[in-house]
Amino acid sequence: MPTPAEQFESNFFSVKTDIGWLQDGVRLKNARDAVEDLQTTVNGMAQRISGLRERGYVFEKDLENQAKGFVTQWNGLYPSLLAQLNQQSTMLQNSLRPLETQLNQLGGMKTNPAMARNLFNSLETGISTLKDKVSAAERTIDGMYNTFRGQVGSVSGHLGEIDWMLTQLAEATFKLLPTEGGIMAVKAVWCADVKEKPEDPDGVLYLTDQRLIFEQKEEIATKKILFIATEKKKVQEKEWDVPVALLEEIKTSKQGMMKNEDHLDLRFGPGANHQTIHLHIWQPVEQWQALLNKAKSKEFDKTRAIAIDQAEVDKVKSVPAQCPGCGANMDQVVLRGQDTVKCEYCGFVVRL
């Protein structure tokens, strides 16, 4: 059991720590930092979007207007936020001063712990009350812009996904076709079966306005000792690509012990190099189902910020209905940006 002097030191350290926390708390430091972070995000969004455009993102032409709209909204909101922060902070700092005085008084009572007991109780009550006031002030500030912050956060998170996709495309072993634009990419496992196995290739699934592409991209153990990998090699190669136009069915499912794994089952029509594909992806399957449907219905073309080169569109239209070599129907899917089309019956190559 601690002595009265030891108990005093323990209690004194505790209230001193609380007062130290409150000295930041009453200035509403966390709330101010959150407001400043949001201001930085809003003011930097236009430049961020410009950077994504330069790197090849051509869709969602309204992104720039969204960024401008956020700046306008923020300029109207920020002055009232700042005023409320300063007002609340001044009131809280005034409430802290008596507690700091009591703490100084306690410091002089180390030799008489019994006399300090009532002051300890008063100080602890005051600290608890002021902590509640700080929390209430933070909630008040948060409530003034919580909805707006959520809107900005949603767009900012989406820009982060686009940034990741463009980084992966820049590192990929394949190139997109002329005028083909990346829409989204996600970490994925291509499962040979519905049940995922350790040997299934791990990589990146890409969705463009014309194709679904899977590239294996992982480190594979080449030597193990007692089940621990001692040597590895990086494997990166495109495994398959399928025209989005051939996508006929999308099924989504939640798997794993906790049902927290997102899985896609895709079925493709004639002409695809895979009739069915099963994927475990690291984004919500509902999001990908919507993206795939929009890509198949060519809705992304309507949102282009950079127009498609008409010459590439005309090339696709120039494909003959019958093969000049054997007369068979040339009914395969032709992607915009292709330079040649090969007859699947006789191998005759039509140059576009």
pLDDT of 197-228, one tens digit each? 989 999 999 999 999 999 999 988 666 666 66
What's the pLDDT at 171? 97
Q: What number is the average pLDDT over the span 71-91?
A: 97
300 and 59 Cβ atoms separated by less than 8 Å: yes
Which of 55-69, 73-87, 329-343 bottoms out in mean pLDDT, i.e. has the lowest?
329-343
pLDDT in tens, 277-317: 999 999 999 999 999 999 999 999 999 998 888 877 777 78
If you search the block for the tokens 């099924």, which residue do you land on? 251
User: Residue 319: its pLDDT value, please?
Assistant: 83
Q: Which two tokens stand for residue 331?
A: 């009914």
Range 164-177 average pLDDT: 97
CA distance linking residue 294 with residue 247, whole number of Å: 12
Residue 326, token pair as written in the block: 């054997």
Residue 104 tokens, joined: 């100084």
Q: Residues 139-144: what's their mean pLDDT? A: 96
Query: Domain extents for the chain?
Result: 4-166, 182-303, 309-352
Structure tokens at 136: 């209430």
Say what the pLDDT of residue 62 is.
97
Per-residue pLDDT at 229: 61
Number of neighbours of residue 81 by Cβ within 10 angstroms = 18
Q: Show the tokens assigned to 23.
A: 């000295």
Question: pLDDT per residue over 239-254, tens digit each?
Answer: 999 999 999 999 999 9
User: What dihedral do alpha carbons 266, 270, 275, 280 form, nearest 10°?
Assistant: -30
Per-residue confidence (pLDDT) for residue 265, from 0 to 100: 96
CATH class label, 182-303: mainly beta
| pLDDT in the model for residue 159 | 98
pLDDT digits (tens, 9 = 90+) for 12-35: 888 899 999 999 999 999 999 999
Whether the Cβ atoms of residue 291 and residue 303 lie closer than 8 Å to each other: no
In one letter, which amino acid is 146?
Answer: N
